[in-house]
Chain A
């Protein structure tokens, strides 16, 4: 095919096709996000027109205020922030401590415990929602011990997701890869395990910890099924559930206001993404190529 073209021309053609394909892919992935943003600033008239309006004539910022007032988004935000920070925080602490113990402390049957933790990866939360829901209810363990139900509480949203298998695995690998001499040197200096963990291991393994922290934060923020099940009152809903209050799956939607509301959910993630996407990608690929 390219026999009549010079090598240079052929390379140019190849490059151009590459850029064209890249533009196409970026458009395909980016368009829905753009559509959300532009929709969130449109008047009803612009939304219900039969020609595509890419950019609204006069951005209607009041859609955001309107959305904020239609449902208790302030409360949803607060709930999401609490659940995300505590959930991710507990995961990070649990993963770090467990990984340290598995990597550096002697204990009979340590390998069995490691396998026990890894095996939990096979039991995703989605499979255990019903028993866990019962656990927190008045008929369940919490009800029988405390005499009250924990449904609609923060601790019930947070606790089932506070244990970590993936992060423990990731960090144990990282800890084992640290130079042994540094840790031995700290020991010779008389440092106890807590000191070694906080002053030596955590600073050295910082990239892995940050990566896992980011993955955990994003996962907690986006969590949907468990918060949906374990909360029933409006004031305990998190953002991902809360946006549905404006959205009617049967139709009759004021898309401008709804798009503004979905932006509330997506906005913090886009910020995290802008600053930390490389960390997250590194963490995910490490799981794939080393696992």
Chain B
């Protein structure tokens, strides 16, 4: 279209008239493909420089020993991976990651569904309540982590005093290996509950009312309607939330770094923290890159499962 400069001529009653004569545009920007490159180029270039190329570079780094400073990098083949496979700390890191992910994702989803069901009732002020529940999701994890460190303070924190009401003594949450991870999980769930709630609410509101009416006519009570209508209709959304929440816990770094720095005794050292610690605290580029590759592989597998599932969903629906 652009650039076809022939003047179009039509006739009415034998009289030639000119209609919509596209001016021949010699401006190079009118060429669609040039424009396409100009529009997409920067984005693609940035992706190449900061996502695709680093991915390849990361694989290379994972086969080297390097302290990030010296001009020489030593090729060590698969030594870094061998180290990770045999290293007790790394086993613990993997275990911590699973523990954190399962607990945080499970609780965020279960509680999010409960709160969503509650806020789906016709209650006054429910929009205000939804806003408050959602607020922590937007706030900086670093700031939130510090606020919660104050709440968890075993002597003067809010939680210690509340536990005191029922005659319990607060554990030293962040300094006890067995309590540090539960504390991190509590903070994560508190922060992300708003997200799962809001998504579940949208899902609940998209369920057609006729399904409930039909179930009612069939004599289904509240629990049966929940089982036979709500749950199956919510399952695609629940699946979406499981996947996004897993990916988000895998990348959850700020809360841990602020509250526990992976400690005490590696009790909250998760994969993403390990990648950071090996690279930028221990200056062990090779091990950091190898661990990052493990993290990437895990995330990739989960994303692929999601793609598979959503494809099959398309055929199904």
Contacts and interface: CB of A to CB of B under 8 A. Distances in A.
Given A29-B136, A29-B194, A284-B195, A120 B280 contact: no
Contacts of B292: 127-130
B43 A35 contact: no
B32 interface: yes
A108 B33 CA distance: 8
Given A19-B123, A105-B32, A113 B40 contact: yes
Nearest to B261: A249
Q: How large is the interface on B (under 10, 10 to 19, 20 to 34, 35 or more residues)?
A: 35 or more
Contacts of A102: 40
Interface residues of A, number: 101
A132 B279 CA distance: 12
Interface in A36-63: 36, 39, 47-52
A134 interface: yes
Interface string A149-181: 000000000011011110010000000000000
Given A32-B147, A244-B258, A285 B198 contact: yes
A168 B272 CA distance: 27
Contact of B43 (A36, A97, A110): A97
B81 interface: no
B169 interface: no
A291 interface: yes
A134 B134 contact: no
Nearest to B38: A97
Contact of A120 (B52, B119, B156): B52
Interface in B42-78: 42-44, 46-47, 49-55, 57-58, 61, 68-69, 71
Contacts of A120: 47, 51-52
A130 B156 contact: no
Contacts of B161: 50-52
A163 B46 contact: yes
Nearest to A241: B142
A231 to B, nearest CB: 12
Interface stretch (B87-95, B209-217, B294-302): B294-302
B289 interface: yes
| Most chain A CB atoms below 10 A, which of B121, B139, B148, B261 | B139
B158 A35 contact: yes
A113 B140 contact: no
Contacts of A33: 135-136, 147
Contacts of B110: none
B246 interface: no
B142 A240 contact: yes
A13 interface: no
Contacts of A253: 149-150, 153
Contacts of A218: 138
Contacts, number: 292
Q: Give the interface SS of chain A, mostly helix, strand, loop or mixed.
A: helix
Contacts of B25: 192
Contacts of A124: 247, 251, 299
| Most chain B CB atoms below 10 A, which of A117, A125, A130, A193 | A130
Given A255-B153, A266-B143, A288 B118 contact: no
A123 B55 contact: yes
Contact of B35 (A193, A221, A225, A280): A193
27 contacts: A18-B118, A29-B133, A35-B150, A47-B156, A94-B43, A97-B38, A100-B39, A106-B36, A117-B43, A120-B51, A123-B52, A123-B296, A126-B272, A130-B285, A131-B57, A131-B58, A134-B57, A193-B32, A244-B142, A255-B153, A262-B146, A265-B140, A266-B139, A277-B131, A277-B134, A281-B198, A291-B310
Interface of B: 1-2, 20, 22-23, 25, 29-30, 32-33, 35-40, 42-44, 46-47, 49-55, 57-58, 61, 68-69, 71, 115, 118-119, 121, 123, 125-126, 129-136, 138-144, 146-151, 153, 155-156, 158, 161-162, 174, 190, 193-195, 198-199, 202-203, 206, 237, 240-241, 244, 247, 251, 253-254, 257-261, 272, 275-276, 279-280, 285, 288-289, 292, 295-296, 299-300, 303, 310
- A-B pairs, 6 with minimum CB distance: A163-B46, A131-B54, A128-B54, A101-B39, A285-B202, A131-B57
Interface of A: 15, 18-19, 21-22, 25-26, 28-33, 35-36, 39, 47-52, 94-95, 97-98, 100-102, 105-108, 110, 113, 116-117, 120-135, 137, 139, 159-160, 162-165, 168, 187-188, 190, 192-194, 218, 221-222, 224-225, 228-229, 239-241, 243-244, 247, 249, 253, 255, 258-259, 262, 265-266, 269-270, 272-273, 277, 280-281, 284-285, 288-289, 291
